[in-house]
Chain A
Amino acid sequence: MKLWSSYLKEMTIAGRGFYFYIEIFIALVMLIVLLVVVNENPVSKEEEIVYYDMTPFMFKVMTNKEISDGQLRMGNEKSFTLKPGDFKVINDKSGEKEHYTFDEEKVIDVKTLETLDAKTGDLIKRAYVADNREDMIRLAHQEKSRGAVIRMKEGEFAYQYYLQGYETDRLVNLLYLMHNDKSAILQTQMNRQDVRELETHKTLNARENVIPLFITFAGSLMGFFIVMAYIFLDKGEGVIRAFAVTPSSVGVYLLSKTGVILTTVLISSTLITLPVMGFKPNYPLFYLFLIITTFAFAELGLLVASFYDAFEKAFGALYLVMVILMVPAFSYIIPGFDPVFLRFFPTYPVLQGFKDILLNANDMSYVLSYSLVFLGGGLLLFWGAQRRLSRTLCSG
């Protein structure tokens, strides 16, 4: 009863303050960004500058075939302003250097050829067709794009690439192989290869992939930060002293604060997740994991708050903890960056756990085992925070 009335009081105060609305507002902004700005499946588009060193008839023959196959289409003409400049081009084999100097600005109009994905029909490459080699080199240099000269040599197409210089050896080798006139040999080799694919893993699309990040940081970072803010607001108003001379326990006081954080996080997380994910995730597990992890991080906030008597004095610790909580986001955003030490950061398993839940993965043992870890940790932090705050709540 005391906990319930304390919780209702805290919710009334939160509803009349601005911290509560900050998180709801952030959730709404995030939702709008996800729905409006983030594509579900963004396709990375490649751009190259091409000069066809051949007769217009040959160019037509070459492109018409691909256009009729549905793999190519003519795009709109585009205008480029070539700026004056000075650069060198090095021959990859001979090492010979060609020096280019352009003193005048030049405006060129180029045709556009768009290559489409054979399966989906999505645009995957855009080629700007320059009228001469010099314009192609100049434009490739200016746009930092790959350049190519395509010409007829002994009845076959021959390719000359102009790269930026920072491409990997693997890409350069691939370009050598790609237009190999002995492609028949390659085909034979390919037929000999036995390629088998692993069962396709469920993946989140680009929009859905942002949700674990938001939910984790709404629950952990905001929970940690806002619960500290609430404690220091109460210390500032002196109401803790009045609470301390009632038969109610410090535990009730702390749990009522945690309750407000949980309510806020549940609302903001639902606001984001439901419109984007629909009913796809395992919601009972989603809310269980959300409540447990938010509880644990809120208790961490209470424990840190117990060491300080004013918000400004707690800034150093606050900043440090928030940075620690944020670091695993790098691993989440950049899958190639996954050092082992990051797995010991508390938000790392939270991010992975939410990802599993949103994917509705078959094996939820990871989520359930970490739920137990966070529940145990949260209770331990609560016990510590309660002990410390019982002694220090009225100071300052």
Chain B
Amino acid sequence: MISVQNLYHSYTKDQQYAVKDISFDVQKGEIFGFLGPSGAGKSTTQGILTGLLPLQKGKVVVAGYDLEKVDNKRFNKIGVSFEQSNVYGKLTARENLQFYAKLFDGPTRDPDELLKLVGLSGKEKDKAGTFSKGMKHRLTFARSMINNPELWFLDEPTTGLDPAIAANIKDIIKEQTSRGVTSFLTTHNMFIAEELCDRVAFIIDGEIKLIDTPKNLKLRYGKKLVEIEYIKEGKVEKEVLKTIDEADKKRIAEITRQYQISTMHTKEATLEEIFIQVTGRGLV
């Protein structure tokens, strides 16, 4: 669905590249996570893929359209959910979606159905300018589905949303994926990436450091840990032990034999920990 080969981009049109020599493919029906801290090159890459930034160097094919040839018809297959809400404040929620629906050539979704899907039922006639930040974000998210996109660009889809609504958004993304929609997810939130993505790419300083499935990354870079809380001489003690280390294995057996266990959890390395391990940088 997306093919990127040797992509470069410089805002200053010189050798200072915001994105340099990146290549990757996104298969139909997968959720591809593009992960990295602020300024890593995520938004630049997404900007080029969505046509908001010009293609300077490299070969990019999106939804079957070569970006070297300008063809706006490709947007009939594409949906873009922006990180910053961008809706017409003077139009109602319904009017916003109705207007965008008319800009596409193919069949579009019912605005009211989409508003219901993102939890804005009952707000159809309210002007978007009166909405809270979260509501505007949901309206922006709903708008990105108006044209039944085959390829969906999601930029920080759950940022700033309360947990219940974020969970709802994640469910919608999963549901769309089950329909065969391909998603390109840009985020610095490793938890959502871990939960949703089939594959992830770590990008830092404009370069992709690795691409793999979260499961493989954990197998390759993760260390299985167990966190045990136990009571010793009336006091609560805590130890974190590796399940693959022989000495730690013996220690786990010893603790469970000798002491009263309060809690015991297995603890996997998170994507964030793996990211730090791979890139040597945090995600902020």
Q: Is the CB of B78 within 8 A of A245?
A: yes
Q: Is the CB of B89 within 8 A of A237?
A: yes
Q: Which of B31-58 contact A (CB under 8 A)?
A: 50-54
Q: Is the CB of A17 within 8 A of B143?
A: no
Contact among A2, A6, A237, A246 for B86, CB-based, below 8 A = A237
Listed A/B pairs (18) with beta-carbon separation below 8 Å: A5-B99, A5-B103, A6-B99, A6-B103, A9-B99, A12-B95, A17-B90, A239-B86, A241-B52, A244-B51, A245-B50, A245-B75, A246-B100, A246-B103, A247-B74, A247-B75, A248-B103, A394-B53
In the bound complex, what is the Cα–Cα distance between A13 and B74 (angstroms)? Answer: 28
Instruction: Let me know if B87 is at the binding interface, CB within 8 A.
Output: yes
In the bound complex, what is the Cα–Cα distance between A394 and B89 (angstroms)? Answer: 18
User: Could you say which of A1, A16, A244, A246 has the most chain B C-beta atoms within 10 Å of its C-beta?
Assistant: A246
Q: Is the CB of B88 within 8 A of A247?
A: no
The 8 A CB mask of B252-269 against A (1 = contact, 0 = none) is: 000000000000000000
Instruction: Let me know if B105 is at the binding interface, CB within 8 A.
Output: yes
Q: How many residues of A contact B (CB 8 A)?
A: 23
Instruction: Let me know if A171 is at the binding interface, CB within 8 A.
Output: no
Given known A-B contacts A2-B102, A5-B99, A242-B82, A13 and B88 have beta carbons under 8 A apart: yes
**Closest A residue, CB atoms, query B100:** A246
Q: Is the CB of A238 within 8 A of B86?
A: yes
Instruction: Let me know if A243 is at the binding interface, CB within 8 A.
Output: yes
Closest 9 CB pairs of A and B: A238-B86, A5-B102, A246-B103, A16-B90, A248-B103, A245-B80, A9-B99, A247-B72, A247-B75
Contacts of A245 in B (CB 8 A): 50-52, 75, 78, 80
With both chains docked as a complex, state the minimum distance between the C-beta of B249 and any C-beta of chain A, in angstroms: 54
Given known A-B contacts A247-B75, A248-B103, A249-B72, A242 and B84 have beta carbons under 8 A apart: no
Q: Majority SS of interface residues in chain B?
A: loop
Contacts of B72 in A (CB 8 A): 246-249
Instruction: Let me know if A391 is at the binding interface, CB within 8 A.
Output: yes
Contacts of B91 in A (CB 8 A): 9, 12-13
Q: Which of A233-292 contact B (CB under 8 A)?
A: 237-239, 241-249
The 8 A CB mask of A369-396 against B (1 = contact, 0 = none) is: 0000000000000000000000100100
With both chains docked as a complex, state the minimum distance between the C-beta of A223 and any C-beta of chain B, in angstroms: 21
In the bound complex, what is the Cα–Cα distance between A393 and B249 (angstroms)? Answer: 61
In the bound complex, what is the Cα–Cα distance between A2 and B127 (angstroms)? Answer: 22
Contact among B76, B80, B87 for A247, CB-based, below 8 A = B76
Contacts of A243 in B (CB 8 A): 103
Instruction: Let me know if B104 is at the binding interface, CB within 8 A.
Output: yes
Interface residues of A (CB under 8 A from B): 1-2, 5-6, 9, 12-13, 16-17, 237-239, 241-249, 391, 394
Contacts of B69 in A (CB 8 A): none
The 8 A CB mask of B61-91 against A (1 = contact, 0 = none) is: 0000000000011111010101011111111
Contacts of A246 in B (CB 8 A): 72, 75, 100, 103-104
Contact among A12, A238, A248 for B82, CB-based, below 8 A = A238
In the bound complex, what is the Cα–Cα distance between A267 and B178 (angstroms)? Answer: 53
With both chains docked as a complex, state the minimum distance between the C-beta of A4 and any C-beta of chain B, in angstroms: 9
Contacts of A244 in B (CB 8 A): 51-52
Contacts of A2 in B (CB 8 A): 102-103
With both chains docked as a complex, state the minimum distance between the C-beta of A255 and any C-beta of chain B, in angstroms: 14
Contacts of B82 in A (CB 8 A): 238, 241-242
Q: Is the CB of A247 within 8 A of B52?
A: no
Contacts of B78 in A (CB 8 A): 245
Given known A-B contacts A12-B90, A16-B90, A237-B89, A242 and B100 have beta carbons under 8 A apart: yes
Contacts of B51 in A (CB 8 A): 244-245
Q: Is the CB of B88 within 8 A of A237?
A: yes
In the bound complex, what is the Cα–Cα distance between A17 and B129 (angstroms)? Answer: 12
**Closest B residue, CB atoms, query A242:** B86
With both chains docked as a complex, state the minimum distance between the C-beta of A252 and any C-beta of chain B, in angstroms: 8
Contacts of A238 in B (CB 8 A): 82, 84-86
With both chains docked as a complex, state the minimum distance between the C-beta of A394 and any C-beta of chain B, in angstroms: 5
Contacts of A239 in B (CB 8 A): 86-88
What would 7 more interface pairs be, CB under 8 Å, given A12-B91, A13-B91, A238-B82?
A: A1-B102, A9-B95, A16-B90, A237-B86, A237-B88, A242-B87, A247-B105
Contacts of B50 in A (CB 8 A): 245
**Closest A residue, CB atoms, query B102:** A5
**Closest B residue, CB atoms, query A5:** B102
Q: Is the CB of A9 within 8 A of B88?
A: yes
Contacts of A6 in B (CB 8 A): 99, 103
**Closest A residue, CB atoms, query B86:** A238
Contacts of B100 in A (CB 8 A): 242, 246
Contacts of B75 in A (CB 8 A): 245-247
